[in-house]
Amino acid sequence: MPKNIDIQVPSLNGKLALVTGASDGIGFHITARLARAGAEVIMPVRNREKGEKAAERILGSNPSAKLELRDLDLSSLASVTALTDELVAEGRPINILINNAGVMTPPERRATSDGFELQFGTNHLGHFSLTTGLLPLLKEGKAHVTTQISVAANQGAVNWDDINWERGYSNMGSYSSSKIATGLLSMHLHRLSEANGWGIQSNLSHPGVSPTNLLSAQPGMGRTSDTTEVKVIRVLSRIGIAGTPQSATLPAVLAATSPDAKAATSTVRRAPATSAEAPPSRSSTRESRVKRMRVACGSCPSSSSPSTPPANLASWSEPSLPTSSAAAARRCRRKTLA
């Protein structure tokens, strides 16, 4: 049987949090846990009906939960821009941002509405655009920004020469590439925060292995039945070898709320054991080995990428910070990662 594992979460009364992927799986449980600690949680969802049902479930066990549904499709930069512009216009500081949502290994190559390969476009570029668009609110809220990483970041590499996987698609290769990129984003955000005095703490969390819908049947993504992997994970979870969606919540909650959580590092739980420090991930070792990596975007003459990319994090500098992902997209250009 799975072991019950828990952590202490400080009072989050008066805090505003935003969790992507909040209507299902790990994101749902993260949202419920933050709300239980007193935070007001924004739930940006792609499917409004599914989001409403998720909110009702949380309110059923916690009637005092403060939840707010918003519309967001991370595979659409226009949708990300609409949300970030809306929130920036409202002006409420954000104290916690958990970049949790993602897609994993569609059987065949698919593209976002902007023409990017689906996994890289959703997992990395969508969160990239969201984070840059919310930057003024994150700075004002001295936010903790926690990004979910994957063991897939310890293998493969960012496919710089064919970032959209147009010359040969590997579903796991693309997933790995997207997760390495999110790791680089998280660490670079914290470096920039320290250098510019933004007060943002950015770190990574790893949920371990648990039976979520990430590998389940998703006809809209071309997967008509559950994968063998998720079937095995469900069995392992039932006998206590793999984690549960509830236990997989804990690393992100710890990383986003604990005053002891370190920035620009990873928090890993090897289910069902207690939390343990992670070994250096490929996203950190690769960064030290390849300091001169350049980020290709669609506005670069030598790139075959679509023409409307999100912000280039390496271009962030005071005083002309992007205040929306649309503005950031216009400023995107080839840069060298510091």
Q: pLDDT tens digit string along 264-283? A: 544 443 333 333 333 334 44
**Range of weakest confidence among 167-171, 177-181, 253-257:** 167-171
Q: Is 169 a catalytic residue?
A: no
Quickly state the pLDDT bin for 247 (edges 50, 70, 90): confident
Are the C-beta atoms of 97 and 328 separated by less than 8 Å?
A: no
Residue 20 sits at the vertex; the CA angle it makes with 160 and 192, to the nearest 5 degrees, is: 55
User: By three-state DSSP, how is residue 134 classified?
Assistant: coil
pLDDT of residue 182 exceeding 50, the answer is yes
- DSSP letter at 69 equals E
In one-letter notation, the amino acid at residue 235 is: V
Partnered with residue 275 across adjacent β-strands are 269
Q: Say how far apart CA 218 and CA 232 lie, in whole Å.
A: 18
Instruction: Name which residue leads in pLDDT, 210 or 102.
Output: 102
User: By three-state DSSP, how is residue 223 classified?
Assistant: strand
Q: What is the pLDDT of residue 211?
A: 63
* Peptide bond connecting 2 to the previous residue in cis, omega within 30 degrees of 0: no
Instruction: Name which residue leads in pLDDT, 273 or 242.
Output: 242
- Any alpha helices (H) in the chain, and if so which ranges? 25-36, 48-61, 77-90, 118-119, 127-133, 135-140, 171-196, 228-238, 245-257, 282-289, 325-331
Whole-model pTM: value is 0.74
Instruction: Name which residue leads in pLDDT, 90 or 295.
Output: 90
Q: What does pLDDT average to over the chain?
A: 76
Please report where in the chains the tokens 């669609």 appear, as a residue. 298
Kindly list the distances between the CA atom of residue 338 and the CA atoms of 234, 293, 294, in Å, as whole numbers in the listed order: 42, 9, 10
Q: What is the pLDDT of residue 165?
A: 87
Q: State both tokens at 153.
A: 């970041």
**Range of weakest confidence among 30-39, 114-123, 255-264:** 255-264
**Range of weakest confidence among 46-55, 185-194, 218-227:** 218-227
Q: Say how far apart CA 323 and CA 227 lie, in whole Å.
A: 41
Q: Which of 19-33, 101-115, 166-180 has the highest mean pLDDT?
A: 19-33
Q: Averaged over 89-96, what is the pLDDT?
A: 98
Residue tagged active-site, from 116, 128, 165, 175: 175
Partnered with residue 277 across adjacent β-strands are 267
- What pLDDT, in 10s, does the model give residues 137-161? 999 999 999 999 877 677 777 888 8
Kindly list the distances between the CA atom of residue 153 and the CA atoms of 37, 158, 240, 282, 337, in Å, as whole numbers in the listed order: 31, 9, 25, 6, 18
Q: What is the pLDDT of residue 312?
A: 44
pLDDT of residue 334 exceeding 90, the answer is no
- What pLDDT, in 10s, does the model give residues 115-135? 999 989 999 999 999 999 999
Please report where in the chains the tokens 């095995």 appear, as a residue. 232
Count CB neighbours of 219 within 10 A: 8
Are the C-beta atoms of 18 and 130 separated by less than 8 Å?
A: no
Q: What is the pLDDT of residue 67?
A: 98
Q: State both tokens at 146.
A: 């926690």
